[in-house]
Amino acid sequence: MDPVEYEMLRHMWFPVARVADLKDGVVGGALLGEELVVYGDGRNVTVAEGFCPHRGVALRLGRTRDGALECPYHGWLFAEGSGRCTRVPSLLPGKSRPHAALRTYPARTAYGLVWSCLAEPFLPAPGLPAGVDDTWQLAAGEPYTLNCGMRQLTENFRDKAHFPFVHADTMGDVSQVVDAYRITRDGWQLGWSSSLGSESVPDEFAAEFSHRLDYHITLPMFASIRVSSPSGGRRLVAQMATPLTADGLRVRQFWLVGVDAAAAAGGAGLADVLAYERQVFEEDHPIVENQRPVEAPLDLHSQVHTAADKFSITFRRVYGELLESFKGRS
């Protein structure tokens, strides 16, 4: 990974854990080669360096006590928020504690996920597209760890041309021709709309989940599709790619689904939507893990493009502009 891109990504918000995975109030995470520990009750969370400053044990093995993180090795307690050591059980009464604290990072929860960044945020935390509000039901799926680049995974998510070849089992008989489309841009957000006939989705989803597809991407990696049916029901699937390693070639795919009130009333249960989208993602994984180069190149002349790749071309160009904007920050 280019050093400028690495530094830029340190200043970006990424999901690092799923709230549902806070076992005993603790779960491990990683971002750009940094091992992290996440602890809290799901409403108030702390993201901190992943190893105890005393003897270096992995704090993801610990648990919480009254909101503080307890090291599993010697029971040292680290306060929520500050990461400051508040108790060393082995000390005799009256003995002062060492001045120890965990390095902490910005933390927030949204959509069932814990988000963090390694340095002062360069951009605001990304959000779901307009129209997805508190009336929707949302659920975060179980994350995947993949050997591919962040941009590679993000481009795959919006590549409609691969549907009839990769997703024939889940989407059925989809047209191989991609109609012309227009891309909209608002700052570091991109979008475009398309359509998919009801014959292209499983029978149990056909009535609720046809036909309009509204794609939305907030750079660098938050992508979503909102699917609207003629009856008014809408569902959402969103994907976030978190670079786990410093070279960016190993990522964690976080994802979530949602349904609006009309879709839920029509029988679109979150469990069924999660199962369907899980199958779609798992059809993609052998593809994204077997591409070369492992990361989508920003050099637009290094690969062959067609009209169907208009979004990928725009995404790469705007990503390059984001890098330049970061380099030129005051």
Q: What whole-number distance in Å separates Cα of residue 86 and Cα of residue 98?
A: 10
Tell me the two tokens of residue 208.
């609720």
Comparing C-alpha atoms, which of 4, 13, 242, 240 is closest to residue 122? Answer: 13
126 located within any domain = no
Tell me the two tokens of residue 214.
């509204």
61 located within any domain = yes
pLDDT value, residue 227: 87
Contacts of 304 (CB under 8 A, 6+ apart): none
CATH number at residue 182: 3.90.380.10
Comparing C-alpha atoms, which of 191, 190, 227 is closest to residue 212? Answer: 227
291 located within any domain = yes
132 located within any domain = no
122 located within any domain = no
Name the residue range of residue 209's domain: 137-326
pLDDT value, residue 209: 44
Q: Verify that 184 and 305 share a domain, yes or no.
A: yes
- Show pLDDT as tens, one digit a residue, over the chain (330 residues): 999 999 999 999 999 999 999 988 999 999 999 999 999 987 899 999 999 999 999 999 999 999 999 999 999 999 999 999 999 999 988 888 889 999 999 999 999 999 999 999 999 999 999 889 989 999 999 999 999 999 999 999 989 899 999 999 998 888 898 888 999 999 999 999 887 654 445 555 554 444 688 999 999 999 999 988 777 788 999 999 999 999 999 999 999 999 998 888 888 789 999 999 999 999 999 999 999 999 999 999 999 999 999 999 999 999 999 999 999 985
Under 8 Å between Cβ of 79 and 94: no
Residue ranges of the alpha helices (H) in 159-305?
163-166, 168-171, 203-206, 261-265, 270-288
Q: Structural domain tally of the chain? A: 2
pLDDT value, residue 152: 97
pLDDT value, residue 204: 54
Q: What is the DSSP letter of 248?
A: S
**Parallel/antiparallel/unpaired status of strands 34-40 and 85-87:** unpaired
pLDDT value, residue 72: 97
Number of neighbouring beta carbons within 10 Å of residue 184: 11
Q: Verify that 103 and 149 share a domain, yes or no.
A: no
Q: Verify that 172 and 44 share a domain, yes or no.
A: no
Tell me if the bond preceding 211 is cis, omega within 30° of 0. Answer: yes
Q: Verify that 175 and 297 share a domain, yes or no.
A: yes
Taking the alpha carbons of 224, 227, 233, 235 in that order, is the dihedral positive or negative?
Answer: negative
pLDDT value, residue 198: 42
Q: Verify that 263 and 191 share a domain, yes or no.
A: yes
Q: What whole-number distance in Å separates Cα of residue 268 and Cα of residue 166?
A: 24
> How buried is 320 (Cβ within 10 angstroms: 0-12 exposed, 13-18 middle, 19+ buried)?
middle
Q: Verify that 104 and 235 share a domain, yes or no.
A: no
pLDDT value, residue 175: 83
